[in-house]
Amino acid sequence: MKLDFNRNLLGRHKGTVDFIVGYASAVFQDCGIYVRRLSPPNVITANDGKPDPTSTNFGFSFQNCTIDVAPELRSRKKEVKALLGQPWKHYATVVFMESYLDEIVLPEEWTLCCKNTIMMFAEYNNRGPGANTNRRAKLPSYKVFKSAAEVTSFTVSN
């Protein structure tokens, strides 16, 4: 697997395969996340899960971020596709909230790997042409949160 994660001080991230990956609790706020591969689809996150299923405040949270194509590929934007994430191990947790999802984000958005089914992928109040949750893949433990109170535990304040 090729990993390619570049970060500069302005909070812009760009990469190709699983470029936000690992075992961690992390909140990404106000980030520009730019995908850089034409095909197959880019997978933005691969959360490693947690060793203790009862632990809280674990996983990746993305708040007020932008998912878009990298500037160097803008002229080929129609060839760029992205999935928000895949679980890497059991109890993987990823939440995208109040973020802009460009049309490059595929309607199914989430994918499975490694036969993991114990996970929690969620979205809340995203916007943009890739944010329509009506056509998402029917994965176990996928949620669309309906209120801010439901996502509070995934914000930096908690």
> Which top CATH class is 5-147?
mainly beta
Question: Domain segments of the chain: what residues?
Answer: 5-147
Q: Where are the alpha helices (DSSP H) in 5-130?
A: none
Residues 6+ apart with CB under 8 A from 49: 23, 87, 88, 89, 90, 91, 92, 93, 116, 118, 119
DSSP H or E stretch at residue 151: helix 148-151
Is residue 57 pLDDT above 70, yes or no? no
Phi/psi of residue 149, each to 5°?
-60, -35
Question: Where is pLDDT greater, at 89 or 94?
Answer: 94
* 104 within 8 A of 84, measured Cβ to Cβ: no
**Which pLDDT tens digit goes with each residue over 11-48?**
444 555 557 887 788 899 999 999 888 878 888 888 77
Question: Where is pLDDT greater, at 16 or 93?
Answer: 93
**Which pLDDT tens digit goes with each residue over 96-125?**
999 999 999 987 767 666 565 677 889 999
